[in-house]
Amino acid sequence: MIALAAPSLSRLPTTTKTRQYITVQVLRFLAALAVVVLHSGFYTAERLDNTISIWLTGANGVRLFFVISGFVMIMASNDAVTAPRGWSVFAVKRIIRIVPMYWAATGFKLATMLAAPGAVLHARLDWLYVVKSLFFLPAFNVDGEIHPLLGVGWTLTFEMFFYTLFTIALLFRANPIRFLAPILIALAMLSMFRAPDWPVVLLCWADPIVLDFLAGMMLARCCQANQTLSPMLAAVVATAGCAYLFLPLGGLRPPYGSMAASLLTTAAATAVLAGVVSLEPLLGPRLPRAPLFMGAASYALYLIHPLVAPIVPVLFHRLGFIWPHLSILLSVCLALIAGALCHLLIEKPATRVLTGWATRHGLLNRGAPLPPLAKIEHGVMRRDAGERRS
């Protein structure tokens, strides 16, 4: 991010390189929560009361997710560039992290479709489409949109594409930013010439949204160089970024879908992350456990909420309770509970078992310590020695 090279930068001690950015974990939760609130509004409008207003800007939680993803991949893969099997270890970790929970959620939706077809909207039973969904391949759904069977999985189509490019960079011992930047910029530029008859993979990935990953990676490089914003500027930048992402600014935004709108959203999401990681020394030691736990559970929350949140408006409709705002609130609460339980009962055990299996079979390095951001990603919420625990 260009702003991070400005004279207003402040230098942190060299220990910043090894700091666990716990604040990023909280941002993950906030990004997931924004999407859950947005979708809870959609479910209530479709199933209970179509006159309510929906918080559409909650969709920008996804953009914040993507910037965070680029940031985390750089911070958590320092040794992978030079390690002999760095690329394969990186790929295995990504698969273990992403696939089990996604397949479980998709399988649950598929089972629901088979058992009660009328309970599932915006989906059809097409086995080729199901296979493409499971393997993160772009495909059109019944509404003509490029969405997998589990609708929110469209973001994982982008994530896995990004991880694949990142893995290729590691395979060739290339600098990930230098390798990915031309590809991602080219895809963003190509999006301005998209036509309906293009192959579905280009229709999907030729999108300026891919620049979110690049912005996150560049921000990580700034942090690795011990460059950060001063606390006052960081607070202002993060607040301004949040305001642009989530407040209903109406005509102050460029037209939806335009290149300008996407670039400004990328900049705003990057500003939020830049401000928050700059405030890590102040905020990190003071963060309570609950949002840190929900940050660790954010992936499970994101995947599971479309399967449980609609239950509330459906139940309200059957009982004749036309209380849309209460429906949204209870949908969010139900999603939070389900996400936390799935994290504890499915995601963590599956990750532990698969990591052990991969280690025993030589796919992962036995006893290799996780880098700081990887620890956070896997739910290890231990703070640096000497910092106050809350």
Burial of 240 (0-12, 13-18, 19+ CB in 10 A): middle
Q: Is 6 left (phi over 0), alpha (psi -120 to 50) or beta?
A: beta
What CA–CA distance (Å, rounded) separates 178 from 172? 12
Domain edges within the chain: 2-377
pLDDT, tens digit (0-9, with 9 covering 90-100), for 136-174: 999 998 888 999 999 999 999 999 999 999 999 999 999
C-alpha dist (Å) from residue 198 to 149, 193, 201: 22, 10, 8
Start-to-end CA span in the chain (Å): 32
Please report which residue ranges of the chain form alpha helices under DSSP H. 22-47, 60-75, 86-115, 127-134, 154-171, 176-190, 200-205, 211-224, 231-246, 259-278, 280-283, 289-296, 298-308, 311-319, 324-342, 348-360, 372-377
35: which 2 tokens?
């999407």
What CA–CA distance (Å, rounded) separates 8 from 300? 38
Tell me what percent of the residues of the chain surpass a pLDDT of 70.
Answer: 87
Question: How much is the average pLDDT of 109-121?
Answer: 78
At 54, the amino acid letter reads I
Give the rounded distance of the alpha carbon of 386 from its chain centre: 30
Q: Average pLDDT, whole number, for the chain?
A: 88
C-alpha dist (Å) from residue 333 to 48, 54, 321: 18, 17, 18
Is residue 382 pLDDT above 80, yes or no? no
Q: What is the dihedral of CA 160, 210, 63, 276, to 10 degrees?
A: 100
Is residue 42 pLDDT above 80, yes or no? yes
Is residue 46 pLDDT above 50, yes or no? yes
Question: How much is the average pLDDT of 66-80?
Answer: 92
Is residue 12 pLDDT above 80, yes or no? no
> Who contacts 170 (Cβ-Cβ below 8 Å, separation ≥6)?
77, 80, 81, 86, 87, 90, 176
Is residue 18 pLDDT above 90, yes or no? no
DSSP state of 11: E
pLDDT of res. 119:
62
pLDDT, tens digit (0-9, with 9 covering 90-100), for 205-244: 999 999 999 999 999 999 999 999 999 999 999 999 999 9
Question: How much is the average pLDDT of 112-127?
Answer: 74
pLDDT of res. 113:
85
Is residue 376 pLDDT above 70, yes or no? no
Nearest to 276 by CA among 67, 62, 15, 73: 67
Is residue 13 pLDDT above 70, yes or no? no
pLDDT band at 372 (very low <50, low <70, confident <90, very high): very low
What CA–CA distance (Å, rounded) separates 336 from 358? 31
The label of the residue with tokens 């310590």 reads 369
> Who contacts 255 (Cβ-Cβ below 8 Å, separation ≥6)?
261
The label of the residue with tokens 């974990």 reads 25
Contact 92, 363 (CB under 8 A): yes
What CA–CA distance (Å, rounded) separates 203 from 181? 19
pTM reported for the whole predicted model: 0.89
